Structure 1
Amino acid sequence: MSFDRTPEELAASIGAWATAAEAYELITVDVPAEHWIEALTAARDTLGLSYFDWLSAVDELAEGFSVAAHLAAPDATGVRHLLVRTRVPRERAALPTAVGVYAGAGWHERETHEMFGIDFPGHPHLVTLLLPDGFEGHPLRKEFVLAARVAKAWPGAKEPGESEGDGPARRKMQPAGVPDPNEWGPLKGTLPPVAERPARGARAAGAAGRT
């Protein structure tokens, strides 16, 4: 259930520095990082969004990290939803903890901290939540290398022709985050280079010539 106010009216209820837009029946309010706690407090106290659903981030590469908190207000007629979002720089990424506004944010900030490397100053217990001790890196950053896939093939169905052994096989595509095993890992430098795929125009021209 959506609010009975426009995105602009909701943004004004959060703060003069907030902007809002609606997509897929969900209103997102964008706020500057320096107003993060102020925005969450206004969402709770002014808009009545007392239920904290989740908090996470998106790696926007050079643009930094988008951090979003999904808030809700259940009542007798349904549930109103709102997404409050901000942006932090990639270098020294940090955002004040929201635990003082929503106690439920503590678990989500711990997860976001280890998965993206975003710090949450003021968090009472910002320690590892999911990853094993000694784990290096932040798995949900886009530059993180899926090292295990160098030693173990990507799971799933085989390429056409590979299961039967009597048909042509397509060139294998590396899933996102999986490095070329000839450039990284225990087989580095020992494998033949993969032939370059022809450009789309060249493939089309070749197909036209055959017809």
Structure 2
Amino acid sequence: MTPEEVGRRVAALLAPAEATPSVSGGQRHARATVDVPAASWREALLSARDDAELACDYFDWLSAVDELADGFDVVAHLWSTRHRHGVLLRTRVRREAPAVASVVDVYPGAAWHERETHEMFGIDFAGHHELRPLLLPPEFEGHPLRKEFILASRVAKPWPGAKEPGESEAGGGRRPIRPPGVPAPGEWGTTPTPAGAGGVGEGPRGGTPARPARERPARPASAARPTRTPRSAPGTDGPAGSGGPSSRGAAERPDAAEETD
């Protein structure tokens, strides 16, 4: 089946529930994508598994996308080992109380994925009784993959890339830009921002204090400096410029008169 046929088949199986089929990009790797209501989420995956024409017997992955004010998109990818086609099923849940039915009884392999999505996005999967921490320590607070979550590591150390986020390829001066997830000055932490994390001197925030500048000893006044004596030129009895053998008169040489006779 083509991706278009797969999408239409899923939508037909879910009727009269409103499902919207489409095709994702990727040219020869394109996939059928079907948006289904949250109330039909479990039924959509069950239909894709049990229908003889679809036969999506392999559960690939499940995750979510933070759409900010619009809520969260829960996405699952299924694959048919018999017909060699796949389908992306997607549903949207509210941000205020994100919840959707668990599909662990349909695909047992979804247990790990639902635990991770619950931990990272705060989405509840009704019917999943093992939504305990999977990747983070039990005392961790918050959901790191939500877009409003403050990335403390971006505050504690400088941005690791060659350029700051938002910096163009053009040269010239620029104003430091805070990396994604770093709050505005003074909104997080109590220690100064390290150089490079969001600009020097932006006020109290996360990170470590910058290294203090080293103090250089004061130079002595000009009057206290010793006077240097000019060095004598080679072959002279005095300082350079005071005259050498070539500048002395012939009268100073005792044998000068004898040499002229």
What's the TM-score, normalizing by structure 2? 0.64
Residues in 2 aligned to 1:119 and 1:112: alpha-carbon distance in whole angstroms: 9
Encode CA deviations 1:21-56: one digit per residue, 9 max, x unaligned: 112111111111111111111011112101000000
Q: Structure 1 regions of 5+ residues with no counterpart?
A: 160-166, 194-211
| Aligned partner letter, 1:191 | G
Residues in 2 aligned to 1:4 and 1:28: alpha-carbon distance in whole angstroms: 9
Answer with 178-187 or 104-113: which moved more. 178-187
User: What is the CA distance between 1:186 and its match in structure 2?
Assistant: 2.1
Structure 1 stretches of 4+ moved >4 Å: none
Describe the SS at the equivalent of 2:181: coil
Instruction: Say whether 1:12 aligns with 2:19.
Output: no
Structure with the larger RCO, 1 or 2 (CA within 8 Å, 6+ apart): 1
Match of 1:63 among 65, 70, 75: 70
Q: Partner residue of 1:54? A: 61
Residues in 2 aligned to 1:106 and 1:131: alpha-carbon distance in whole angstroms: 17
Residues in 1 aligned to 2:6 and 2:162: alpha-carbon distance in whole angstroms: 47
Encode CA deviations 1:101-138: one digit per residue, 9 max, x unaligned: 11011000000000000011211311100011200100
Instruction: Say whether 1:178 aligns with 2:182.
Output: yes
Residues in 2 aligned to 1:23 and 1:158: alpha-carbon distance in whole angstroms: 32
Match of 1:191 among 195, 201, 217: 201
Instruction: Say whether 1:84 aligns with 2:98.
Output: no
State the identity as a percent.
57
Does structure 1 retain, via aligned residues, the 8 Å contact 2:4–2:22? no
| Aligned partner letter, 2:158 | A
Q: Partner residue of 1:151? A: 156
Instruction: Say whether 1:95 aligns with 2:100.
Output: yes
Structure 1 170/111 Cα, relative in aligned 2: closer, same or farther at 3 Å?
Answer: same
Q: How does 1:18-33 map to 2 (within 5 A)?
A: 18-24=19-25, 25-33=30-38
Match of 1:109 among 111, 114, 119: 114
| Aligned partner letter, 1:13 | L
Q: Partner residue of 1:133? A: 138
Give the number of aligned pairs.
Answer: 184
Structure 1 72/6 Cα, relative in aligned 2: closer, same or farther at 3 Å?
Answer: closer
CA root-mean-square deviation: 2.4
Q: Structure 2 regions of 5+ residues with no counterpart?
A: 165-170, 194-199, 204-261
Residues in 2 aligned to 1:143 and 1:38: alpha-carbon distance in whole angstroms: 32
